[in-house]
Structure 1
């Protein structure tokens, strides 16, 4: 039987040698800004603690950081080694509902890393990735889960933006799934997170990501990411089928009512938004367990009873309350059973903020003979929404497992607030323009027709502390119904920073102490400080601003910056899209007063050029700084084209497909040539991780100029043949590579090796039958190895037939010589001349014959 085995099929061997990751049920990556230049990276992994087959936790993992701009050819910008720091159990929502087959642990690997923000300034941003093989084999909504890996990805914005460090931390995802879902029962959870920077978070389902290679810990590959393959009947719109397929709201509420039991994998992407711009996202991978046989009670049913209004229908009617009316009514809960604990809560629908103390109780125990609970609800005297109805959900839940079953009554309520007139200001402004180093005073007077007391406060748009920009507010007089004050603005640039902003929108807020504390509209003033005039610096170079060079050239010139005001100057060079130090450029940032000069030098070397890049743009930037530290800048764009000859690819001297015998050493020379005789050429395996699992397989690591020959060696063993096979084929791909510029070139060669059994050697075995131990130095010893004729040598052991012994007997049957070593040597010294009988014994095969001893 002949079986063909391609090297790509060796994934199965790797799997057998590597631990599976079916203990991993989910995870994500975090990136936290400690301060500009100092960051923390966390890898979070959720584990199935209900199993004990894979209980080993690796102490360290490496994550890889890529730039989005570099696309599919990206190399990692940096790598970071993380160390395990914690392991905690994820608690159930209701511990009494726990089951043996669901127990989740949370493991965190972490490291503090130092990154230069200016080196991570690409406006397209970056992403951090980690990969792992393989998923839980019982997952039912993806194809072949045991051969499907996982990939965690975190998208982060640049660390340097608009000339300053960009401060941002990724979302911190909160509670993962700790409960199971029940078939035919609504499962819900808040699958949300928080943001350390106050950014908005938006949630959506996504297809989970696969690893890029079938290895235990693959090195993450750049975009595009590889998605998993959904099993038949499943898709992103039908991740977990059921009466309510798996879904998540943009605010993070996860819902599902599964139709079938099983383990399902899904992913949630959390987008991070700031100022209407998406700045990052994190993808959380997770598994959900759905079980059958849950028998929860019927959920409670809720209703509302309005005194004096028996026909009230909360689905279509609005409750109206006047200022002085009683605003209480009954919240009625039915369909309850003895022994249940009913929980009660209220949630605002069209307004933010908690509704506290809306019920006289927050939960109630259903005692004997009780089939209805009646709880009083009172609407607030001061409505949370002005000039329109507010909507509130009254929710009752039971104590079913795994999660309470709920019913909701939604009420629309209009509450007439107490009458109040907001304070008003005497006319002022609304625009003020002030020269720098002046002190502006603006007199303010506010009155209230309701004779309420007034409090003034000061806000500046975009500023947490108005005093940091020189603004202050001083109250002069305050009586019921009237207040006077002075707004001061100190515009000294020596005391306050106006370098980034000279125009401000200033608000004066007059709050009257009315019953409902209604917030009044501020008095807005537009204020501008005029800074001293400052001329822009000028940058120049001593050569043309566009040049052509070749490898081996030395490009040298001076960069000059001047400022007519005699301000302090700062001169720097920015490489557009590459690292100038790595390609051999030397340029020192410089500073001076009125004028500054710094030399630029580039020893152009082909080996240090960026692969595939011929054009290099340098930005010479001069910035001045006047008395107010206002920065003006001038930028000179300097372009260099590098003219490089094309690099020729190395080429293999082709070799034919080859047959090898089991346990027989084999070697073969492989040669590669390169027309560029100065290029160094090497030969290696294309993918060493996918070679046949054979320890004797090797290839010499040799390099040569223009030509190289490496020796391939292999002694295939019986493990390469499955039971009963006599032959198997292996495809091995060799790679020839050079070090040429500007782009390294490659050539590949596939050689098919047939590994055969050695049975034919057994059939051809014909040992010598005469030897002459007479001391003449010719044929004095009898042996069966290293003989000149191949068929006279002992056959090499094959997969089921191994040498055991060699024996010689005389005519009477007595043994005159015996050895269990195939390298035996018999000198015949103990016997007379004559005919003897021999036996060559293998495990399965025996050879018998006669041997002449002649003296």
Structure 2
């Protein structure tokens, strides 16, 4: 559409129709043209996997902005920073719409009302796409800014480009997770002319990255009042044009002008001119000294004349001193036996005024702050005094440990737009009242170390007391181990001014391996969360010895330590062996027998143990048969073991191989000629001394072939007889096969 309008001068014959189109475009775009943008920013948060959440916060002028300018969604475009290639567009639906509160609600003004409009959606950043070393940027373009802005040119037609940079999601082949800073709390306050205005714009970073803040000229971008909501184009983005006298380093007229602390994000200015001023800043994100991202924020600050507000004043005086405390010159010394309180007096020239008191520890833990007797109050109202009085008292246990501590005592009024403050920095040293350490005793002694065996129950009490009656806390630790991992418990309770704990430990095998166990007990007591601690160590020596059990058996001695005993029997034979186990420690003994890949009963074996403490016996029997042999297909191997029930058992083992004897010990020699000639002598070919069937090896068949390979006879009977049949005299060949694949073959001569 823009290109069409720009070409109007070149197509004069079509001018009336195009002018009509232009008028219609203006008519339909009027709601979006409303000047309503106060400012805003984006952030990108890692969720899981490749999923991120992108959020845009748009700050909306709820007083002057028209409802028609409120979008139901906005589109964010993501680009490759190196090439400016568009990666994807993501539609961000409107998810939240709330008012922005004032820092001091009492200072609110009806001509400044801001809404926070939140657009958000999830986005997938896949590692195989978002891996460009230069990183990426996201942008949303929208028009228009408030018409009344005083420090930029043509504010009513100025847009805002919401801008964010983030790194690739992989680096050096590894996932690189980053959540951009969630920066800048929303601002609805105004500033008073010639009064110091300050605000904390410091951000939060989920990854703990370093954040650096600096002022920046806001982006205008490509959005215009005619086309207020374009899909973002790649950078560069046109910047706004500063009015005369303004620049990136002088965005708001002031003395001093607008500035931001690079490390804290604290923004401050003392404006010298009334008006509405836009300002821009960016937060740069560093990890290990390398920039990985950037977030920008545009916002605006209204400067108005305010009623004169005087700074409250405060005087501090030690209770033991005759004169007021002189900041930078005096050091208060808080000592035992003397008052530890400071008298505070506050005044304010304004009437009426509500004053609030607060403290800030400068160089010591904030948990040790003293307390006020009065933290806030009104002055100069009917019935109220002109001066507010409070007292600040340190506890008697407070100790500065020989150092000079500094404490800021702060009084703030309720003036607008921001409170005026007076701060007195108090230097002091503090010596606590005398406080004795706790005492710790146990009933475990006096003879230490305690000695125990596995199975013993050890109990004793540990008692902590404190001479100043401070509460005592008992704890238990182990030197080089965790007591709970050994099953030791320590249950404590309070009895009057004593804290007593009961130690209980049933010693078991977990204690074996460490000959000495040192249980350390700590008693802590003392005021001001600064306790003194004393320790008591109870050593316990666990005595453990173990003599290996002895296994005696009727089995033959093994050929060597690495070779098993071999027992051989014919099918139908029987073998028996006895086993006896003894243990001088009287540990429970268990005799067992385990077949290697088979069940004993399937192989005709049985094992009958009698187990007991210090003594065990068993009888083994083998009825030799082919069942187990056929199942395993090899020799039968059995492991006999004597096992003791103790912490570090030393099992005794014998491995025995049981083999069946194959009766085929001599190769058979069949006849090599037969003569079926009617004389009934040597009339058939038979083999009466065939190898006998043995377990899985059985006679399968016999085949006789002619010298040309023709089958002339076959039988599955091991008692076969071949009389030659009709075969002609000559040489033939026999083949005898067994079921396990064994074969016997040779020539046989037939003569008639």
TM-score class, shorter-chain normalisation, is 0.5 to 0.7
Which of 247, 250, 257 is residue 259 of structure 2 equivalent to? 247
Paired residues of 1:186 and 1:257 also in contact (CA < 8 A): yes
2:346 corresponds to 1:346: no
Distance 1:410 1:48, change over 3 A: same
1:404 paired residue number: 419
Q: Deviations over 1:788-816 (max 9, x none)?
A: xxxxxxxxxxxxxxxxxxxxxxxxxxxxx
How far 1:166 sits from its partner (Å)?
A: 3.5
Kept in 2, the 8 Å contact 1:393–1:411? The answer is yes
Question: Which of the residues 333, 336, 358 maps onto 2:371?
Answer: 358
Equivalent pair of 1:269/1:283 in contact (CA under 8 Å): yes
Q: Secondary structure at the match of 2:161?
A: strand
Task: Report the CA distance between 1:354 and its aligned residue.
Answer: 6.3
Alpha-carbon distance between aligned partners in 2 of 1:88 and 1:136, rounded to the nearest angstrom: 19
Q: 1-side partners of 2:331 and 2:205: how far apart?
A: 37
User: For 1:75 and 1:170, how far apart are their aligned partners in 2?
Assistant: 21
CA distance in structure 2 between the aligned counterparts of 1:47 and 1:457, rounded to whole angstroms:
59
> Does the CA-based 8 Å contact 1:454-1:478 persist in structure 2?
no
State the match for 1:235 in structure 2: 247
- Give structure 2 stretches of 5+ with no counterpart: 10-18, 439-463, 493-498, 504-519, 534-752
Q: C-alpha separation between the residues in 2 aligned to 1:222 and 1:354?
A: 51
Match of 2:87 in 1: 77
**2:36 counterpart residue number:** 23
CA distance in structure 2 between the aligned counterparts of 1:516 and 1:36, rounded to whole angstroms: 47
1:238 Cα deviation from its structure 2 partner? 1.8
The higher radius of gyration belongs to 2
Bigger mean CA deviation after superposition, 411-420 or 190-199: 411-420
Residue of 410, 424, 428 corresponding to 1:395: 410
**TM-score between both structures, scaled by the size of structure 1:** 0.47
In 2, the alpha carbon distance for the partners of 1:350 and 1:199 equals 25
CA contact (8 A) 1:61 1:83 kept: yes
Q: Would the alpha carbon gap of residues 229 and 360 (structure 1) be closer, same or farther in structure 2, given more than 3 Å must change?
A: same
Q: Secondary structure of the residue that 2:256 maps to in structure 1?
A: strand
How far residue 380 of structure 1 moved from its aligned partner, in angstroms, is: 5.5
How far the C-alpha of 1:397 sits from its partner, in A, is 1.7
Per the alignment, in what secondary structure is the counterpart of residue 377 of structure 1?
strand
Contact 1:346 1:355 (8 Å CA) reproduced: no
- Alignment partner of 1:370 out of 381, 385, 404: 385
Choose 222-231 or 41-50, whichever is displaced more.
222-231
Answer yes or no: is 1:63 the counterpart of 2:76: yes
Q: Are the counterparts in 2 of residues 454 and 513 from structure 1 also a CA contact under 8 Å?
A: no
CA contact (8 A) 1:210 1:227 kept: yes
Per mean C-alpha deviation after superposition, the further-off stretch among 239-248 and 322-331 is 322-331
- Matched residue, 1:431: none
Q: Secondary structure at 2:156's aligned position in 1? A: helix
- What is the DSSP-based 3-state SS (H/G/I as helix, E as strand, rest coil) of the residue aligned with 2:255? strand
Q: State which drifts further: 123-132 or 380-389.
A: 380-389
Distance 1:509 1:221 in 2: 69
3-state SS in 1 of match to 2:390? strand
**Cα distance per residue 1:743-801 (max 9 Å; x no partner):** xxxxxxxxxxxxxxxxxxxxxxxxxxxxxxxxxxxxxxxxxxxxxxxxxxxxxxxxxxx
- On the 8 A contact 1:296/1:400 being kept in 2, the answer is no
* Paired residues of 2:405 and 2:427 also in contact (CA < 8 A): yes
Call closer, same or farther: CA 1:32–1:353 in 2, change over 3 Å: farther
Q: CA-to-partner distance for each residue in 1:382-419, whole Å, 9 max, x for gaps?
A: 66976643333222122222222222222233334689
Find the residue that maps to 2:319 and give its secondary structure.
coil
* Residue number in structure 1 paired with 2:277: 264
8 Å CA contact 2:320, 2:339 repeated in 1: no
- Asked if 1:281 corresponds to 2:291, the answer is no
CA contact (8 A) 1:240 1:246 kept: yes
Q: How much does 1:33 deviate?
A: 1.9
Going from structure 1 to structure 2, the CA distance change for 1:382 and 1:123 (only over 3 Å counts) comes to farther
Cα 1:287–1:338 shift into 2, 3 Å? closer
Partners of 2:477 and 2:113 lie apart in 1 by: 53
Q: C-alpha distance in 2, partners of 1:159/1:362? A: 51
Distance change (3 Å), C-alpha of 1:271 and 1:518: farther
Q: CA deviation at 1:99?
A: 1.9
Aligned CA RMSD, in angstroms, stands at: 4.7
Distance 1:111 1:374, change over 3 A: same
Tell me if the contact between 2:256 and 2:269 (Cα under 8 Å) persists in the aligned partners. Answer: yes
C-alpha distance 454-43 of structure 1, shift in aligned 2 (>3 A) = same
Pairing partner for 1:181 from 188, 191, 194:
191
2:610 maps to what in 1? Answer: none
**1:371-450 map, 5 Å:** 371-379=386-394, 388-416=403-431
2 CA distance for matches of 1:319 and 1:28? 48
CA distance in 2, matches of 1:124, 1:473: 55
Aligned length: 463
Greater mean deviation of Cα atoms: 309-318 or 274-283:
274-283
CA apart distance, 1:267: 1.8
Distance 1:129 1:43 in 2: 10
Measured against aligned partners, the alpha-carbon deviations of 1:134-186 in whole angstroms (never above 9, x if no partner) come to: 32232122233234321111222332345554343333335321111111222
CA distance in 1, matches of 2:491, 2:36: 69
CA distance in 2, matches of 1:352, 1:123: 44
Shift, 1:218, TM fit: 3.7
Cα pair distance change 1:457/1:224, threshold 3 Å? farther
SS of the aligned residue for 1:172 comes to: coil
Show the counterpart of 2:680. Answer: none
| Secondary structure in structure 1 of the residue aligned to 2:307 | coil
Conservation of the 8 A alpha-carbon contact between 1:36 and 1:117:
no
**In structure 1, C-alpha distance between the alignment counterparts of 2:287 and 2:364, rounded to whole Å:** 22
Matches within 5 A, 1:767-846: none
How far apart, CA to CA, are the structure 2 residues paired with 1:337 and 1:389? 36
Secondary structure in structure 2 of the residue aligned to 1:243: coil
* C-alpha distance in 2 between matches for 1:355 and 1:513: 17
Q: Could you tell me how far apart the structure 2 residues matched to 1:45 and 1:262 are?
A: 22
SS class of match (1:178): coil
CA contact (8 A) 2:408 2:425 kept: yes
Whole-Å Cα distance in 2 between the matches of residues 268 and 520 of structure 1?
50
1:158 and 1:135 map into 2 onto residues whose CA distance is 33
Q: CA offsets, 1:814-834, max 9 Å, x none?
A: xxxxxxxxxxxxxxxxxxxxx
Q: 2:152 corresponds to which residue?
A: 142
Q: Is the contact between residue 118 and residue 159 of structure 1 (CA under 8 Å) also seen in structure 2?
A: no
Q: The residue matched to 1:41 in structure 2 has which SS?
A: strand
Q: Is the 8 A contact 2:282 2:294 kept in 1?
A: yes
Matched, 1:305 2:317: yes
In structure 2, relative to structure 1, the CA distance for the partners of 1:475 and 1:394 (3 Å cut) is farther
Q: Does 1:38 align with 2:51?
A: yes
Q: Displacement of 1:256 after TM fit?
A: 2.0
In structure 1, the gaps of 5 or more residues are 424-447, 461-465, 485-507, 522-855
SS in 2 for 1:270: strand
Contact persistence 1:382–1:516 (CA under 8 A):
yes
In the TM superposition, residue 29 of structure 1 has moved relative to its aligned partner by: 0.7
Deviations 1:181-224 (A, max 9, x none): 11122222222333344545443322222214544234434444
What does 1:451-530 align with in structure 2 at a 5 Å threshold?
455=475, 513-517=525-529
Counterparts in 2 of 1:209 and 1:352: CA distance versus 1, 3 Å: farther
Give the conservation status (yes or no) of the 8 Å contact 2:132–2:168. yes
- The separation in 2 between residues aligned to 1:170 and 1:187, in whole angstroms, is 28
Aligned 1:48-127 pairs, distance under 5 A: 48-53=61-66, 55-68=68-81, 70=82, 73-127=83-137
- Kindly provide the CA deviation profile for residues 237-276 of structure 1, in whole angstroms up to 9, marking residues without a partner as x: 3221223322223323222221111111112323445555
8 A Cα contact 2:310 2:350, kept in partner: no
**What is the CA–CA distance in structure 2 between the aligned matches of 1:120 and 1:107, rounded to whole Å?**
29
Q: 1:171 maps to what in 2?
A: 181
SS of aligned partner of 1:330? strand
- Cα offset, 1:90, TM superposition: 0.9
Which secondary structure does the structure 2 equivalent of 1:146 belong to?
helix
